[in-house]
Amino acid sequence: MKFTDLGLDDVILKAVEEEGYTQPTLIQEEAIPNVLEGRDVMAAAQTGTGKTASFTLPMLHRLLRHANSSTSPAKHPVRALILTPTRELAAQVDESARRYGKHLALRVGCVYGGVPMNPQVAMLRSGVEILVATPGRLLDHVGTNNVRFSSVEFLVLDEADRMLDMGFLPDIKRIVDLIPSTRQTLLFSATYSEDIRRLAGDWLRSPVKVEVAPRNTVTETIQHTVMHVTERDKSKQLVSLLQEGKVSQALVFCNTKMGANRLTRQLQNKDINSEAIHSDRSQIERTAALDNFKVGKTKVLVATDIAARGLDIEQLPHVVNYDLPHNSEDYVHRIGRTGRAGQKGEAISFCTPEDRESVHAIEKLINKKLEVSEPTRGSRAVAAPRHSRTENKQTKEDSFFSKPYVAQSGISGPAKIIEENNVNKPGRIEKKQTIAALFMPPAGEKKD
C-alpha cells in the first residue's frame, strides 16, 4: 500500500514525503482510514510502530477545515488533545505533529511538568489547535483557566497502560469528563488489561480494534541474550562489554534512581561517557541527557523505566537490563527501544541467581528463549541454570484484547482489524483485577 491510497490530503502527503516515508507502516495502514472515517480506534501498539503518525496524520486531515492564519486566540481553540504519560513522550509527539502539520495553518503546542508554567500559559492563551500534554500539568492549567476543552473533537490517549501504571487514572478521568462526548477517541496501549478495556468501554464508541502483529512476540530483529553474573560483578561486566567494543552505545536500565546514579558514577569513573535519566533529574537535565545520547555524545544512557518509556532513539544498537525489570511486561517495553523500524538490535540482560525466575517469566511471555552469553573476561561467570521451564507453546486461542498482557512486534508482521464491535462493558468482566495488582510501578518514581 502507498500513502497516496489512504485518502490523506496532498498537503499532509507532502510532509510525509519530506519525512522520507515511502510506505505506511502496518498500524498506519489500518488506523488511518478508520480515523478518517470518524471511527474511534483502540490500537495495540507501542512506540516504534509508527503509531504517532497513525493518529496524527488523519487527525490533521480532519482538522484541515479549521486551518486559519488569524491572530485571534478565539480562532484557535483546542481541537485535539493528546495525553501522554511522560514529558519525553509528550515532547516527541509534539515534534512529530509539528513536522507532519508543517504545511497547515494549525497550531501545535505541548505542556508538561518540570518546566516553568509561564511560556505554556502564553502559548495556551494565544490559542493552539493540537495540544499534547501530560495529565498532571494539564490539570494545573485547567485549574487556572488557561485552557478550555469545549471545542475538542479528538482525544488521543497515548500509552494508556503506562498512564494507569503511573497513577494518572484519576487525572485522566477528570480530563475526559471535561471533553465533549461528541469527540472521536483514539486509544493506544501496548498492553490490554481488563482495566484498560473497561475504560475503553466507557470512553470509546464502537471502536475499531487494530492489532499489528502476532501476540506475545517481540520484534524479530532483536537478539535476546542473558548473562549470568553476580550482583557484585554487574558493573565490571558492563564496563568490559563497553571497553571491549561488544557494546558500542547502550540504553541501560536500572530499577531505582539511586542505582542509576551509582552506575552512572561508576561508568564515568572508568572514563565511559554516561548520563542518567530518571524522574529526580530536572527536565532540563533529562532533555539534555536524551539529546546527548541521541546525537552520540554519550555512550551510555542509564535510565529507570519511567524516563525511558516511549523514547524514540534512532539506530540504538543495544539495550542492557542491568537490573531485570520487576515485571516481565516491562522487558518488552525496554527492549523495544532497540531493533526499531526493522533495524537489528541486541538486548542483553544481566541475571543474578535471584533473577532466574524472572528470566523464565520473560521467556514465557515473549515465547522465546534468551540466548546465554558468557560473561566477558575479568568477571566471574555464574553457571547458567540447567533446566529452563520455558514453555515455547504459543497460546493461539488468546484474544489480543482479552488478555492482561500483549506485546507486538514493531513495524513487521501482519496487521489486522480484529473486531469492530463494542469493547467489553464493565458489567461483563467477571474476574475483576485491581489496577495495583495489574501494574507494578517502578519503585520510588513520581508522576508528572
Residues lying near ligand AMP in the complex (CB under 6 A): 21, 23-25, 28, 47-53, 312, 341
The Cα 173–Cα 176 span in angstroms is 5
State the minimum distance, in angstroms, from the CB of residue 159 to ligand AMP: 10
C-alpha cell at 93: 509527539
Q: Which is nearer to ligand AMP, 92 or 379 (CB)?
A: 92
Cβ–Cβ < 8 Å for 187, 176: no
Minimal distance, residue 4 CB to ligand AMP, in Å: 13
Nearer to ligand AMP, 51 or 257 (CB): 51
Nearer to ligand AMP, 147 or 160 (CB): 160
Among the listed residues 204, 263, 206, the one whose alpha carbon sits nearest the alpha carbon of residue 237: 263
- At its nearest, how many Å lie between ligand AMP and the CB of residue 341? 5
Least distance CB 133 / ligand AMP (angstroms): 17
Least distance to ligand AMP, CB of residue 46, Å: 7
Cα atoms in the 13 Å half-sphere on the side-chain side of 415? 24
First to last CA, the chain: 39
Kindly tell me the sign of the dihedral angle through the C-alpha atoms of 377, 379, 385, 388: negative
Beta carbons of 312 and 99 less than 8 angstroms apart: no
Strand pairing class (208-211; 416-419) = antiparallel
In a 13 Å sphere around the CA of 263, the CA atoms on its Cβ side amount to: 33
* Residue 87 C-beta: closest distance to ligand AMP, Å: 15
Whether 217 and 400 have beta carbons less than 8 Å apart is answered as no
Other CB atoms within 10 Å distance of the CB of residue 148: 12
Those residues with Cβ within 8 angstroms of residue 171's Cβ, 6 or more apart along the chain or in another chain: 135, 136, 138, 139
CB nearer to ligand AMP: give 51 or 61: 51
Smallest gap from Cβ 189 to ligand AMP, in A, equals 13
